[in-house]
């Protein structure tokens, strides 16, 4: 059952919220409507797609799963499985920071503190919306079965190092947006060039936007809005173009509202 909720002006100034993609931000706001008075809700990609993005055909279930992962990684939502069927739920952290509840009703959903509740890693959302078994638990069960058979368990493959991240989160945000919108080939191919171009574009917009964070948000929205557009495909050819035409780009694709 959906519920009426409020959006505080402080929401738009929160730095953690500002670091989220537009889709993840919209999902977080929509989760308030779906959550009960204790901030608990079903956390299933197919369910959230059908209730919050029902008219957004370009947004797929996989996209929603990525938005969910963003919320979990940011620390504002805790995903967990619970109950006999081990369905996935979410607890919105600091729920009362964002909502004022009059005459709150007790939740009927499982809680994160229940004995059978298990935290779900942000990477463990499958396409059908259920949570995969946590890696450590699966590993232990595999070892137990193999020992019973007298076999040794092979060592797990080494994880690949994460993609290059710079110290400045706004630069990471802008480069990620450009990669998503235009593909890897759109970048200059040189790591330092991309970093300096992103910094240059953010600095230009920050002079009028008031802050680097706001500038990064404006540029991210502009790049994503330009994706697939004729103007984008014929004129926007790389990070260097974004740097040279940052103000023009933002004016053509301003943030909604």
> DSSP characters for the chain?
--------GGGGG-HHHHTS-HHHHHHHHHHHHHS-TTSEEE--HHHHHHHHSTT-TTS-HHHHHHHHHHHHHHTSEEEEEETTTTEEEEEETTHHHH---SSPPPP-S--TTSTT-EE--TT-B-TTSPBPPPHHHHHHHHHHHHHHTT-PPPPPPPPPPPPP--S-HHHHHHHHHHHHHH-GGGS-S-HHHHHHHHHHHHHHHHHHHSSHHHHHHHHHHHHHHHTT-HHHHHH--SHHHHHHTHHHHHHHSPPP-
120 and 44 together in one domain: yes
Instruction: Let me know if residue 164 belongs to a domain.
Output: no
Residue that is last in its domain, among 109, 132, 155:
132
pLDDT (0 to 100) of residue 227:
66
Residues found in the chain: 257
Instruction: Look up the CATH number of the domain holding residue 64.
Output: 1.10.10
107 and 183 together in one domain: no
59 and 122 together in one domain: yes
Instruction: Let me know if residue 152 belongs to a domain.
Output: no
Instruction: Let me know if residue 108 belongs to a domain.
Output: yes
Task: Dump pLDDT digits (tens) for 32-84.
Answer: 889 888 889 999 999 999 999 999 988 999 999 999 999 999 888 989 998 87
Phi and psi angles of residue 129, each rounded to the nearest 5 degrees, phi first: 95, -10
126 and 224 together in one domain: no
Number of domains comprising the chain: 2
197 and 116 together in one domain: no
73 and 188 together in one domain: no
105 and 218 together in one domain: no
Sort strands 118-119 and 87-92 into parallel, antiparallel or unpaired.
unpaired
pLDDT (0 to 100) of residue 67:
93
What is the domain extent for residue 125? 9-132
Instruction: Let me know if residue 142 belongs to a domain.
Output: no
pLDDT (0 to 100) of residue 70:
92
127 and 22 together in one domain: yes
Instruction: Let me know if residue 141 belongs to a domain.
Output: no
95 and 198 together in one domain: no
Instruction: Let me know if residue 208 belongs to a domain.
Output: yes
* Per-run averaged pLDDT (10 residues), the chain, 257 residues: 71 85 92 88 92 91 93 90 87 80 81 86 50 44 56 55 59 76 64 78 84 85 71 61 81 77
Instruction: Let me know if residue 154 belongs to a domain.
Output: no
Distance from C-alpha of 97 to C-alpha of 196, rounded to nearest angstrom: 37
Rounded to 10 degrees, what is the CA torsion of 240, 243, 244, 247?
150
39 and 100 together in one domain: yes
105 and 209 together in one domain: no
128 and 173 together in one domain: no
Instruction: Let me know if residue 119 belongs to a domain.
Output: yes
């Amino acid at each position: 059952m959906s519920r009426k909720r409020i959006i505080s002006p402080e929401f738009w100034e929160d730095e953690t919220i500002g670091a989220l993609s537009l889709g993840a931000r919209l999902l977080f706001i929509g989760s308030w409507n779906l959550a009960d008075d204790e901030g608990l809700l079903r956390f299933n990609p197919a369910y959230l797609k059908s209730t919050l993005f029902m008219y957004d055909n370009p947004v797929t279930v996989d996209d929603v799963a990525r938005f969910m992962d963003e919320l979990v990684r940011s620390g504002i939502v805790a995903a967990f499985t619970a109950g006999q069927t081990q369905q996935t739920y979410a607890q919105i952290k600091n729920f009362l920071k964002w909502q004022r509840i009059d005459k709150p009703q007790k939740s009927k959903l499982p809680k994160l503190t229940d004995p059978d509740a298990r935290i779900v890693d942000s990477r463990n959302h499958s396409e059908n919306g259920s949570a995969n078994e946590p890696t450590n638990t699966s590993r232990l069960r595999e070892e137990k079965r193999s020992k019973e058979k007298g076999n040794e368990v092979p060592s797990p493959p080494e994880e690949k190092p994460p993609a290059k991240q710079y110290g400045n989160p706004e630069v990471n945000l802008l480069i990620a947006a450009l990669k998503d919108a235009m593909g890897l080939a759109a970048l200059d191919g040189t790591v330092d060039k991309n970093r300096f171009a992103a910094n240059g574009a953010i600095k230009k917009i920050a002079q009028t936007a008031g802050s680097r964070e706001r500038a990064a948000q404006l540029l991210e929205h502009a790049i994503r809005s330009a994706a697939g557009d004729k103007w984008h495909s014929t004129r926007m050819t790389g990070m260097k173009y974004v740097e040279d035409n940052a103000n023009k780009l933002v004016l053509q694709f301003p943030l909604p509202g």
